[in-house]
Amino acid sequence: MRSFILVAALIVSACSTTPQTQRDIYADVLDENLKQARGATAQQTPYKIAAGDDVLAQRATPNRAVVDEVYSWVHSSDYVDIENRLLAEIPNMTARLYNRQNGMRVKYTGPSTDGTGDVYYWSRNTGQIRRGSWEIKEGKFGPQICETFYSETSCLNTVEQLSGVGRIDRRKGDVFGLARGVRPEVGDDGLPEWG
């Protein structure tokens, strides 16, 4: 839903505003996304909020200056530069993620030589590992990572991906073994331990 709101706001703004105003509209949508990540209530979430989730929400929210810097870079770079940065930062990475809607998750994006690969998500709430695929697709505003699970594809916001919105931290490789079906062990702080 957030991606839809962002795309709709950017489409409307592209038709009727200056680049500075487009940036302001994006900033307003991003502020709303960050607010939702931090401020959802227990009634809005399909699971019980675990102790320490407020701390996780803060850790998964990057400094606004970082987001603005990535936004400026994305909107002043050409397609190939953005695609190369996505290919340098996304494949063969494990990330610990958090947002109020999905809770604590671990994501492993498999390696790629051609801009496609496997993606795995483990959820603390369900304990299950989901396997899907990812690829770089051309979006209306440049390249973006799109993930497909069970024939349903959703494309991720490039600025949020590169600036770390929703990401607590990450490491190179399949640290937890999600591709082998290994479920991470959760520590006392509510996070899977890097080991």
Residue spans of the domains in the chain: they are 2-180
**CA neighbor of 81 nearest in space, from 152, 157, 156, 158:** 158
How far is the CA of 34 from the CAs of 31, 99, 105, in angstroms?
Answer: 5, 9, 17
CB atoms within 10 A of CB 174: 18
Q: Is it the case that residue 4 has pLDDT exceeding 70?
A: no
Does residue 44 contact residue 100 with C-beta atoms inside 8 Å?
yes
Per-residue pLDDT tens for 52-89?
Answer: 566 667 767 777 888 889 999 898 999 999 999 999 99
d(CA 181, CA 41): 32
Give pLDDT, residue 58.
Answer: 74
Per-residue pLDDT tens for 15-36?
Answer: 444 444 444 444 554 555 555 4
| Strand partners for 122 | 106, 129
d(CA 103, CA 151): 23
- pTM reported for the whole predicted model: 0.72
d(CA 187, CA 106): 13
Residue 25 CB contacts under 8 Å (≥ 6 apart), including other chains: 9, 10, 12, 13, 17
% of the chain surpassing 70 pLDDT: 70
d(CA 47, CA 25): 32
Q: What is the DSSP letter of 178?
A: G
Give pLDDT, residue 130.
Answer: 95
